[in-house]
Amino acid sequence: MTKGFQLDSKHLPLAATIGLFIVMFLFGSLRYTGFFSTQVFLNLFIDNAFLIVVAVGMTFVILSGGIDLSVGSIIALTSMVAASLTMNAQLSPALVIPLSLLVGTVLGFSMGCLIHYFNLQPFIVTLAGMFLARGLCYLINVESITINNEFFSFMASTRIPVGGGNFISISVIIALLVVVAAIFVAHFTKFGRNVYALGGSEQSALLMGLPVGKTKILIYTVSGFCSSLAGLIFTFYMLSGYGLHANGLELDTIAAVVIGGTLLTGGAGYVAGSVVGVLILGIIQTVIVFEGTLSSWWTKIAIGGLLLLFIVLQRVIVARSKTTQTSIASH
């Protein structure tokens, strides 16, 4: 009886998230004509492919009990590097893409090393990383660089039909591949289990003899890589590099992960949940676009409010499961 309840309460945020998504989709469908269509649903993926990829990386970080504030800036830096290498250095995409992916990976790796070897707080290291990456963007170019390249245009405009006249983009396929890979890594590999153990209790993980340091560094490297990949997808989407791209994306990403049911204190959550979290953020944006008269700034405010709601929900659940545990212990 108690066990069943505990299982329920663990899944409650995710269940609430899926429920909320369905309610919002129904609300949109009833209120606006043309909202209830497969293409509107698929557009959620097309417009938020990059966010899905960042959220996957962030899920690992938050699962381990850390935080990564540098994701938005790394996206901007990747877009800037890709744009300047393609347009100014005239390199071929075959070189540009690996180099751009290296940007976030190296930054993430360095941040992971600083966090592990010198025992610095993740938030201050990644906050410095956030400013460093933005600063580097401006060093490359203060203005926006427009990309005019066959490969990039191909990636941007190719539509893959999925039947019924609906389509998705190449970015969606990349994002879904990342999600599948991440689910595999999180649940079927040693690394994945180490991440969960680290988030549950770093002390216990250390005492169990798990490679805490290696895992920590790898987590931030993965998050950096995901940010860079998201940066590339974002570049395909915008076809430009700019230092102000993805400003404030940190909150969106953290919000998506938390709304997706991952505990902010680490140790519990799912990669798939974060995807639903991203879709909810996407649907808020779609509703605001369909409404037409609302300022786009309402998106930020709505995301902030929703994040607050889910954090409170998490606190309630954690507090309740604690009281159940103590009541079991005392009986």
Partner 1 sequence: MMKSKLFWPIVVLLIILLINLFFDKNFFTIEVKNGYLTGSLIDILNRGAPLLLVSIGMTLVIATKGVDLGVGSVIAMAGAVGAMTVSGANGDSLVPLFTAIAFVIAISILTGIWNGVLVSRIGVQPIVATLILMVAGRGIAQLITDGQIMTVYYDPYTFIGGGHLLMLPFSIFIVAAMLVIASFLTRKTAMGLFIESVGTNPEASRLSGINSKNILLMVYVFSGICAGIGGLILSSNVASADGNNAGLWYELDAILAVVIGGTSLNGGRFYLMGTVIGALIIQSLTTTIYSIGIAPEINLVVKAIVVLIVCLLQSPEFRKKVFGVFNMKQTEKKSKNEGVSIS
Q: Smaller CB distance to partner 1: residue 123 or 188?
A: 123
Q: How far is CA 84 from the centre of its chain?
A: 25
Q: Smaller CB distance to partner 1: residue 34 or 135?
A: 135
CB of 131: closest distance to partner 1 in angstroms? 4
Helix (H, G, I), strand (E, B) or coil at 290: helix
CB of 56: closest distance to partner 1 in angstroms? 19
Q: Hey, what amino acid is at 143?
A: E
Write the CB contacts of 283 (distance below 8 Å, at least 6 apart in sequence). Answer: 21, 24, 25, 28, 44
CB of 267: closest distance to partner 1 in angstroms? 14
Locate 218 and state its tokens. Answer: 């790898």
Q: Smaller CB distance to partner 1: residue 240 or 250?
A: 250
CB of 120: closest distance to partner 1 in angstroms? 5
Distance CA 293, CA 279 (A): 22
CA angle 6, 61, 212 (to 5 degrees): 90
CB of 301: closest distance to partner 1 in angstroms? 5
Q: Smaller CB distance to partner 1: residue 61 or 179?
A: 61
- Length of the chain measured in residues: 331
- Nearest of 302, 203, 198, 201 to residue 251 by alpha carbon: 302
Q: How far is CA 285 from the centre of its chain?
A: 16
Q: Smaller CB distance to partner 1: residue 90 or 295?
A: 295
**Segments of 130-239 assigned E as strands:** 145-146, 160-163, 166-168
CB of 177: closest distance to partner 1 in angstroms? 29
Q: Smaller CB distance to partner 1: residue 297 or 331?
A: 297
- Nearest of 307, 277, 313 to residue 13 by alpha carbon: 313
Q: Which residue has the tokens 């990564």?
A: 68
CB of 289: closest distance to partner 1 in angstroms? 16
Residues near partner 1, by CB under 8 A: 67, 69, 114, 117-121, 123-125, 127-129, 131-132, 134-136, 138-139, 142, 248, 250-252, 254, 258, 264-265, 295, 297-301, 303-305, 307-308, 311-312, 315
Locate 302 and state its tokens. Answer: 């709505």
- Nearest of 258, 238, 245 to residue 309 by alpha carbon: 258
Q: Smaller CB distance to partner 1: residue 57 or 243?
A: 243
